[in-house]
C-alpha cells in the first residue's frame, strides 16, 4: 500500500484551487519543491470535456489533486439534486479521463465521507462503502463521489494508472462558503453567531435537534494529509481523512459560539433535518502511515474566525 513518489521538480495541478480545500492545498504545496499549475476558472469550465482536455494537453501536469466539486449543505443538496449529480459526475470524469490521456503520473481524487451508508457501523471503515443505503439528504452528491472513486479504481485496473482516492470528513477553515442557505454547518453557525453578536440578538437558531454526532477537520490538516498520500500511498482502496473523534452538533455549536463571543441562547429548529445520526471515520489506515490531525478544534476555530473577520467585507456581498 505504501509507495515512494517524489513531488520534487514535478508539475502539479490542483483542480479546484480557488475553493476552500483547493486553496489549502495550494498553501501546503507552496512549501514543496514543485511547480504549481495556475487555473483560470473564468476560462476553464471543468464540466466541459473539450476545455478540460485542452487545458491538460497544454499544461501537462505530472501530479493532480482533484479537489474541484459542486458542494453545499443539506439545503443545497435537497433543492439542487440534478446539479449536484450532473456537475460532479462531469467534473471528475473529464479530469480523470484527460489525465489518463496525457500520462499523468499520480492522481489523488478527493471524495467525501457522505459516500458511506447512513447506518454504517461507527467509526466508519473504508470497507463500508456500498454496503447499505445512503443518507437521503445528500445521496446525489454521494453517488457522484462514489462514481469518482470507482473511476479511479477502473483506470488503475484497466490501464495501470497510479490513481488513488481519499475521503475527508466534515471540513472547516479559511476559504469556506458562508452563504446563509447553502453553506455547511461550521460556516452557517459562524456567520449566524457573528451577525447575532453584532445585532445584539438574544438567540441564534441551530438547524435540527443538535443531537447528531459529527467529526470536524481543519482544512489545512487535510492538505497536509493529501501531500503525504501523494508521496506514500498507492492502492485502489480509498483512505479516510479525519480526526477520528466526534462531538454532538450542540457541543460544536457551543464551541463556535464561544469562539465568536456571542452570549445569547441557542434555539434548536427541529423542523430542519438532522441528517445522518452519527458520522465519524475510522482513520487507522492513515494513522498507519504515520499521520494524525495536528490542529485542535479550539485552535482551528480561532484561526477560522480570524480569517472570517479579515474577509467579512467580501462575505457580506454573498
Residues contacting 309, CB < 8 A, separation 6+? none
Question: How far apart are alpha carbons 95 and 75 in whole angstroms?
Answer: 27
Residues contacting 280, CB < 8 A, separation 6+? 122, 123, 124, 169, 213, 214, 215, 242, 244, 245, 246
Write out pLDDT tens, residues 131-179: 999 988 889 999 999 999 999 999 999 999 999 999 999 999 999 988 7
What is the overall mean pLDDT for the chain? 94
Residue for grid cell 503525504 = 228
Write out pLDDT tens, residues 235-291: 999 999 999 999 999 999 999 999 999 999 999 999 988 877 889 999 999 999 999
Could you tell me which residues are annotated as the binding site? 16-22, 110-113, 145, 184, 192, 207, 214, 274
For the chain, domains (ranges, CATH) are 11-315 (3.40.50.720)
Strands 203-207 vs 265-269: parallel, antiparallel or unpaired: parallel
Which residues are marked as active site?
141
Q: Is the pTM of this model over 0.85?
A: yes
Residue for grid cell 508539475 = 11
Residue 205 contacts residue 253 (beta carbons within 8 Å): no
Residue 213 contacts residue 278 (beta carbons within 8 Å): yes
Amino acid at each position: 500500500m505504501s509507495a515512494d513518489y517524489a513531488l520534487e521538480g514535478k508539475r502539479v495541478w490542483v483542480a479546484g484551487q480557488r475553493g476552500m480545500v483547493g486553496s489549502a492545498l495550494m498553501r501546503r504545496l507552496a512549501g514543496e519543491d514543485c511547480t504549481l499549475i495556475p487555473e483560470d476558472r473564468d476560462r476553464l469550465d471543468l464540466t466541459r470535456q473539450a476545455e478540460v482536455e485542452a487545458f491538460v494537453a497544454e499544461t501537462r501536469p505530472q501530479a493532480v489533486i482533484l479537489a474541484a466539486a459542486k458542494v453545499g449543505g443539506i439545503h443545497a443538496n435537497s433543492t439542487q439534486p440534478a446539479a449536484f449529480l450532473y456537475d460532479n459526475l462531469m467534473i471528475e470524469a473529464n479530469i480523470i479521463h484527460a489525465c489518463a490521456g496525457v500520462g499523468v503520473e499520480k492522481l489523488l481524487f478527493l471524495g467525501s465521507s457522505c459516500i458511506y451508508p447512513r447506518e454504517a457501523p461507527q467509526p466508519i471503515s473504508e470497507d463500508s462503502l456500498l454496503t447499505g443505503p445512503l443518507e437521503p439528504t445528500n445521496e446525489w452528491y454521494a453517488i457522484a463521489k462514489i462514481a469518482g472513486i470507482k473511476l479511479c479504481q477502473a483506470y488503475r485496473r484497466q490501464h495501470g494508472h497510479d490513481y488513488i482516492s481519499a475521503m475527508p470528513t466534515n471540513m472547516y477553515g479559511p476559504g469556506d462558503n458562508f452563504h446563509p442557505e447553502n453553506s455547511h454547518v461550521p460556516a452557517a453557525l459562524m456567520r449566524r453567531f457573528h451577525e447575532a453578536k453584532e445585532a445584539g440578538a438574544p438567540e441564534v437558531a441551530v438547524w435540527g435537534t443538535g443531537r447528531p454526532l459529527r467529526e470536524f477537520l481543519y482544512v489545512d490538516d487535510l492538505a497536509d494529509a493529501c501531500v503525504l498520500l501523494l508521496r506514500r500511498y498507492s492502492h485502489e482502496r480509498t483512505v479516510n481523512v479525519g480526526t477520528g473523534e466526534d462531538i454532538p452538533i450542540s457541543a460544536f455549536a457551543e464551541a463556535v459560539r464561544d469562539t465568536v463571543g456571542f452570549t445569547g441562547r441557542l434555539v434548536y429548529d427541529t423542523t430542519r433535518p438532522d441528517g445522518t445520526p452519527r458520522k465519524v471515520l475510522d482513520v487507522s489506515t492513515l494513522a498507519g502511515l504515520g499521520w494524525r490531525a495536528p490542529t485542535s478544534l479550539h485552535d482551528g476555530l480561532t484561526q477560522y474566525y480570524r480569517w472570517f473577520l479579515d474577509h467579512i467585507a467580501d462575505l457580506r456581498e454573498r
